[in-house]
Every structure is written in structure tokens, then in C-alpha cells.
Structure 1
Amino acid sequence: MTNSPEFSPPAVAAPPAPDESSHALLHRGLGVGSIVFMVVAAAAPLGVMVANTPIITGISGSAGAPLFFLIATVVLVFFSVGFTAMSKFVPNAGAFYSYIQAGLGRHVGSGAAALALVSYGVLLIGVNGYLGVATSNVVSAHFHVDIQWWIYSFAWLLIIGVLGYRDIELSSKVLGVLLVVEIAVVVVLDVAIVVKGGESGLGVEPLSLSTFASGTPTLGLMFAFFCFFGFEATAVFRNEAKDPDRTVPRATYIAVLSIGIFYAISSWAVMEGAGSGSVVEKAKADPENLVLDLAASYGAPILKDVMQVLLVTSTFACVLSFHNVITRYQFTLAGKGMLPKRLADVSEKHLAPSTSSLIASAISLAAMALVTALGWDPITSIYTWLSGAATLGLIGLMVLTNLAVIFYFRTKASAPTVWHSLIAPAMSLISLTVILALVIANFSLLVGDRTTAAVVGGLIAVAFAVGLAGAEVMKRQRPDRYAELAADTVRRP
């Protein structure tokens, strides 16, 4: 969500990683479909359509949201080429951190690990604040019961904790059901708009270059990229996949393409339903109800009600997905000696990193209690500030990952083709560097004001610095553990 706002001869593996025995205990039944469900759920497609597409339209001053999404899809497909090629050489579940470490060194990798944990952590809390508000609004509107938003936020975290503690298949099934339902309701709205011909006939104006160039397209692009966050989590689940060397690449491409195509088609329908010539003004005037009103107008009032309820379940699925990602990051880092070893324990009953999940839940609950006690507004402060921090951190990690892919295949291993090792990663690097520059230049807009931007941006910088310092301390005090950080990289001739 955004702010409201493949190959050569057989591989020779390096010495076993210290957490190998733990990995062997993990459930290994996830197929392509299960991973795709969890990753796409993290993108919260219904939430993007209802909450974010109007924001993208209003803040960019353009009806070009479909093009923004298509451009983001192309860039992320380029990113996925190097990302998935790297996954076969770095066979652990650290994703961004593992690849950055393999390509740029253990210090930078450790900084990336800390940055990833903080970025996903604050994103979880930010979206959970939004979830509490959305739940409170639905219950109040339909049952006339007024309960404070933070009570719902805590309740959802407890439910997520139970699901995260158990076998990953349970989360996968829950997310799969919720995802199918929320996509179905958006498709119903899309079809209704097409059948009725939109506000003034269907056209391709939202896909035209003139529309794209109107307003401030750089802001639209920036927010469009944020709607894809979580797609890289395909690699985080590799230890629980049936055949990770095949499953992870397939799931990554399917996730990126399915998310991007869905966003582009559905946002085009929204532009046509509201009218390409007037959708910007409507989005600025009432972003919260733009899509919901279209549901009532083109479908029926009941469709609007269903969308409001499913917005809650969509956001819940998003938070659950982020919890699972954090749990597996912690599990992998603990196995490498970068976090307490207990976090690398695997439940013999659930075949899952249940201890890591339990700790992640405890930290989330404590963080939620802190921001609640501070009296932060759930939307303008918790959601806006923390999702802004996550935007900066995760795009920074993607830029570093592109650099790592290029350096790794230039200096340590031979990739299948120059396309995988240089051309696609370089194209992605250039594009994402531009996006990162846009985020930095517009960070005060992203989080609200310059003071908040300095504080939130400082948090992201401190997280990376702490990771760097941690690697230096480990190098001096535990050189054996420091040497093991890169123990599970597979080098192929």
C-alpha cells in the first residue's frame, strides 16, 4: 500500500551454513501458487485500487495512473531478471540482505539486513494503524458500535501472531482465500464500468503520452512503485519452497506481472468510470470515496459495502504478509549469528520459525503500544510517517541489490547470459536510482513536513549505520562468526 498518500556444470557448494539443520526442519511444501498468493496479498490489490489510485491521481494531477503502473512493472521485471538469477547462487532466505552481502561485502550486507528489518517493521506498524481505522469505520457504519481504532489494531496483531506462529501453509491458505475474494470484487467493478461504457464512452486517454506528461508524473511514478512493495518476498520463502531454484524465479515473475497488469487494467477502468477529464478533480476532492462511489454507481450500493469490508481483509492480508517476511528475515539472520540464536529455532510441531514469529509479534505489539501512547494519529502520523520511512528504505535496498548483482557476476561468478548479469540489472539500477532521487527530493511531501522528513529519514540512515557497526564488532570480537556470514554462497564457473 502507499500513503493516503538459470545453467552450467553442477554447482560446488561452500561449507554448510550454521543454520542448515534448522532449515532442514522447515516445512518445504510451498509451490509457486502459494508464494504468489502471499506476495500479491502483501501488495493489497484492493487497497491499492480503493485507497491509493485516487491518491496517485490527485497528487500527480494526471489521469495517467495506468501508465505509471505499467512503467513500474517494466522496471521491476528488469529488476527481477538479476534478482532471480542471483537467487540460484545465494541459496538462503535473506533476499535483499543476502544478495547485497554476496555482491558488496559483509559490512554492507549487514547494514542492508538492519535496514530491511527496520523498513519492513515500520511498514507493518504503519499499515496496521490504517487497518485499525478501517475496521473501526466499517463496524461503526454497519453495526453502529464505536470502538477506538487502536483496540482493533492490537486485536489484528494477536490474530496475525497466531497465524504466523503456525505452519506457513495456514497463512498461505488464509491469504489465498482473501486475495481471490478481493480481486473478484475489483474485477466486478471493472466489468461493470466497461459494460456501461464509463462516464462518457471508453477510450485510451489514460494511456496516452499527453496524459502521462500532464501534471507531475514523477510523483505519480513514485507512488506507483510503492504499490509493489513486498514482491521481492518470493526469495524470503525459499527455505519453505518445494523446489526453490524453480519456484522462486517463477513466483517472482508471476507476482510482478500479475500485480502490474491488474493495477493497470483496474486503474484504467477507474479513470474511465470517473471520466478521464474530471477524475483528477474528483480524486483531489474526495480520494477516500472516489472508487467506492463508482462501485455504488456502476454496480450497486451492496458492492460499495462489500468493498468497504474487503478493504479491511485486504489490509489484514497485507500486514500478515509483512509479519511472515520479518519472521523469516530474523530466522535467517539468527542462523548467521547476527541475531540471538533462539530466533533460528524451528518448531517440530509446526515446521515453522515459530520462535522468530513470537518475537516479531512481541516487538510489533510493543511498537504499536508506543505509538498509541504517544498519541500519534493513525493516518496522518503512524501510517504516513512509517510508510514513508519504508519507502525510502526499501527503494534504497533495491538500488543496492542491483549494484550487488552487477558486482557479483562481474567478480565472483558467471551468470547464464549478459542479459541476466548486466543489461537488465543496469537498466533497473538507472531507473530505481532516479526513483530513489525522487523519493529523497519529495520526502517532506511523502511524510508531511521537513522536520518529520529529517527525523524519519534519520531513522533509516541510523538503521543502516547500526548494521555496519554490528558487522565491524563481529569482525573484531567473533571473527569465526564473521567468516561464516558468506558461508552459503554457491559459486558456479
Structure 2
Amino acid sequence: MATVSDPSTAGATQKRLSGRLGVGSIVFMVVAAAAPLTVVAGTVPIGIAAGNGPAYPSMYVISAVVLMFFAVGFTAMTRHVPNAGAFYSYIGTGLGRGAGLGSAMVALISYVTVQGAVYGYIGFALGDLVSRWGGPSLPWWFWTGVVIAVAGLLGYRHIELSSKVLGVLLVCEVGIVLLLDAVVTGQGGGPEGLSTAMFQPSEIFSGAPGIGLMFAIAGFIGFEATAIFRDEARDPNRTIPRATYAALALIGVFYTVSAWAIVSAWGDGPAVARATADPGTMVVETAQRYLGTAASDVMQVLFVTSLFAAVLSFHNVLSRYFFSLGNTGVLPGICGRSHARHASPHVASLVTTAVGAALMAIGAIAGLDPVTQIFTWLAGVASVGIVVLMLLACLAVLVFFRRTNTDRRPWNTLIAPSLGLVGLALILVLLVQNLPLLMGGSTALGVGAGVLLAVALVAGWPLARLRPHAARELSLASIADSAPQI
């Protein structure tokens, strides 16, 4: 690939990103977005308490299976998608420009809100950590501002730098959890031994499995973003599918084993009681009991770095959405420019930084709590939005391959996407039913979030009419004409 600095190709590459990211680098990027330690320390205890108790680890298995069906069709379509717009490109290619542009709006809302959720949480967590270690006690928004600036600086530069930072942070946070898993399972669990609840159907469907599944699926947000790095991948047609499967498998196994180890460390009944009493400190206390005080201190630090890794990863994903939309005429063309030296979406990165800063400023001025309000409300919007996009992507895969016959493999283009569509539809129903819970218990906020996402999706059709030249490459006919028959 020519670099941006090559004068003979400057015009062509000014709107292209470059890089040679392999499977490992992209997997680091998207697994970091899933924030493994944050999920294990924050979501798992809540899932145990509010979901199906000691059988909660099984929800990660179910989620991974449904998402694997989705990934089969998603990756089969990779070679037929015209650009690195990920969800909106896939949906637009299969269902038309209106659906594509509507899904682009939903994707922007979803990634802006999930990034904002983590910004709020990390501001609180970092401030708490600094004050606990004898530092100054400053408002959460100060620390959030520092994180926004650092993420913006890294996002402005070449993707390889972010990849290296995320790689180091991810290895550290995953390492401490795997050490805890190994010690707990190596000792045969706690007083009751290793838990078997996740293998018993009666336990899996006890309690509130729907709520458990809702929390479990939220832990996978970000794995599907592999396709957004298409232009920076070494060999997109091979690298993107492999990275998608690898990321999903790693996340699913990691969450399942870690949740099972935490339940086993306490015992089925005691685990539910401990999670219900104080979910926020359950995993740190587990680490202290099995690994010692020093390890629990390290885990608290790594919890903050886990949040930062998620912020940086979402920043990279969101800036590439802005970049792709600028390139295709949906947003002003300046958003689609790449840096002459860093070959990065520098303008889109600055836009992403500004949007995140504005959202956090609104939260601070309104006096919202960074965890119970900013984090929970925005995470609720993002969870529903991402599931809607995955469901539409499954539908787009089915429609695209039925109309074009560019790939006649039944499993890849019909069976697996259909199973994914059904599974995601059921999960979406559960999410919508429990949206007020995700939004902090407010029915008004839950309804408002649903309406916001619905309006964004429907806006795609009038936007397609108002901007007839936007995303014109999302034409199924042109894709079908140029695609090889398989």
C-alpha cells in the first residue's frame, strides 16, 4: 500500500488509512474494548445477584453461541463489503442505503454512549484510587478530562501505537484474573468445592435468567468492531474473519471460566449472598482471600487500566466510524481525511474527543453521578443499540446472499445467520423489557432511550433522500456485479 507521503498518490490516500495490523493486534483492540477485568469485577457479581445465581456463568456460554452464529454470516460477507464502515456498510450493502444510513446513526449513538459510560466510570474509579493512596481528592470530571486528553492524543497518532498500549494493558488485566482462576480451581474451589450449577438445567433457568443474559451479552460489546479496522489490516479478507472468531472465543471462554471460578471460590449459596450484599467489592475480596493483599491492590489498579483500555479502544472504533462516514459523504468530507504522517483519522479523532468531552461536560454540569447515572444510563442505551445493529446485520447477510448468490454455502449464508437472527431477536426482547433496569430503574428514561434509537434508525431513509450522493457505494447491484461467484 502506498503511504500518504507519496506525492503521486497523495490524493488517493488522503482518505485512506494504512497499517499492517495482524490478527493479534486487532484481537487486542477489540478484546480491550470488552474490558475483561471490568466485566469480571463489575458485571459478574451483579449477574450472580440479579440473574440466575450460581448458574450465571452459563449465560456467557449462551451469549457466545448466539454471537458465534452472528459472526459466521458477518465474516462471510467481509469480502463483499466496500469499505471499513462495519455495521452500517454491512447493513447498507444488504438492505439498502436507507437502512445503512439509519444504522450508521444508531452506531454513532451506541459507540458515543458506551464510550461516555466508561468515561464516567473511569473518572470516579481513578479519583477513588488516587485519594485512597494519599493523593488529592478531586472531582470525577477532572480525572475524566485527563483520560479524554490522553485517549485523544493516542487516537490522533498511528494505530500501531494504540495497539501496543492496549496489548500491554490487556495482558496485565487478563493475567491477574487468570492467576485468580488458576488458584481457585487448583485448590478445588472453596468450602463447597467446584460449582456444578452452570451445568444443571434446573439451576440455569432458576431465578431471573433473562436478566442474567442481559448482563452477559453486554460484556461482549466491542468484539464485532474487527471490521472497522479493515483498511489497516494486513490482509482484510483473512485477518478480519480470523480476528472476529478469535476475539469472540477468547472473550467467551475467559468470562465463563472466570465467573465459574468466582462462584466456586465462595460456594453456590454464599456467592449469591456475597454478591447481593456488595457486588462492587466481591472480586477484590476474592483476590485478597486467594492471592493476598498485594494482589488485591494490584487488581484495583488494573481495574482502572482496564477501563482506560476500553476507552481507548472505543475511541479508535468511533473515530473510524466518523472517518468512514466522512469518506462516504454522510458527514462533512473533512472527517474523512487521514494524517499525512501518522496515516490516522486525525480529524475524526478530534471530533470523537470533542463529542466525548461535551457529553461529559453536560453530565458534570447536570450534577449526575458518574456511576449510578452516567455509566448505567449510557451503557443501557449502548447495549440495546449494539444488539439492534447485530440483528440487522444478520438480516442483511440473509438478504444479500439470497439476492446475489455470490456465496452458496448454506451454513455460512443461511443457517448460521438465521439462528443468529432468532437468538438476537430474543435477546433484544429481553433488553427492551429490562431497559428501565439498565437505565437505573427509570421507565421514562428507558422509553426515551428506545425512542431515540428508533428515531435514529428511521432517519436513515429521509437522510438517503436528502443526501442522494451519500454512501452511494452501498449499492447491492454494483456489489453483485463485481463479486466473484463461489
Percent identity (aligned): 45
Paired letter, 1:469: P
Question: Alignment partner for residue 321 of structure 2, among 320, 324, 329?
Answer: 329
1:62 alignment counterpart: 53
Classify the secondary structure of the residue corresponding to 1:288: helix
1:139 alignment counterpart: 130
Please give the alpha-carbon distance, in whole angstroms, between the structure 1 residues aligned to 2:203 and 2:155: 44
Paired letter, 2:24: G
Classify the secondary structure of the residue corresponding to 1:143: coil
Alignment of 1:4-403 (within 5 A): 21-22=12-13, 25-200=16-191, 201-403=193-395
Q: For structure 2, list consecutive stretches of 5 or more residues without a partner in the other structure.
A: 1-9
1:459 alignment counterpart: 452
Please give the alpha-carbon distance, in whole angstroms, between the structure 1 residues aligned to 2:319 and 2:85: 11
| CA contact 1:157–1:365 (8 Å) conserved in 2 | yes
* Deviation readout 1:395-417 (Å, 9 max, x if unpaired): 01111001000000001232151
1:9 alignment counterpart: none
Question: Alignment partner for residue 430 of structure 2, among 415, 424, 438?
Answer: 438
Please give the alpha-carbon distance, in whole angstroms, between the structure 2 residues aligned to 1:95 and 1:483: 16
Deviation at 1:363, TM superposition (A): 1.4
Classify the secondary structure of the residue corresponding to 2:467: helix
2:463 alignment counterpart: 470
TM-score (norm: length of structure 2): 0.94
Deviation at 1:61, TM superposition (A): 4.1
Report the aligned-residue RMSD. Answer: 1.6
* Deviation readout 1:68-126 (Å, 9 max, x if unpaired): 11111111111110000011110411111111101111001100001101110011011
| CA contact 2:319–2:352 (8 Å) conserved in 1 | yes
TM-score (norm: length of structure 1): 0.93
Please give the alpha-carbon distance, in whole angstroms, between the structure 1 residues aligned to 2:160 and 2:86: 20
Q: Tell me: CA distance 1:282–1:485, structure 2 relative to 1, closer, same or farther (3 Å).
A: same
| CA contact 2:102–2:456 (8 Å) conserved in 1 | yes
Paired letter, 1:272: S
| CA contact 1:66–1:207 (8 Å) conserved in 2 | no
Paired letter, 2:176: V
| CA contact 1:199–1:275 (8 Å) conserved in 2 | yes
Count of residue correspondences: 471
2:5 alignment counterpart: none
* Deviation readout 1:348-373 (Å, 9 max, x if unpaired): 11011111111111111111111111
Q: Tell me: CA distance 1:420–1:286, structure 2 relative to 1, closer, same or farther (3 Å).
A: same
Alignment of 1:474-489 (within 5 A): 474-475=467-468, 480-481=469-470, 483-486=472-475, 489=479
Classify the secondary structure of the residue corresponding to 2:49: helix
Q: Which deviates the most, 57-66 or 429-438?
A: 57-66
Deviation at 1:20, TM superposition (A): 9.2
Deviation at 1:204, TM superposition (A): 2.2
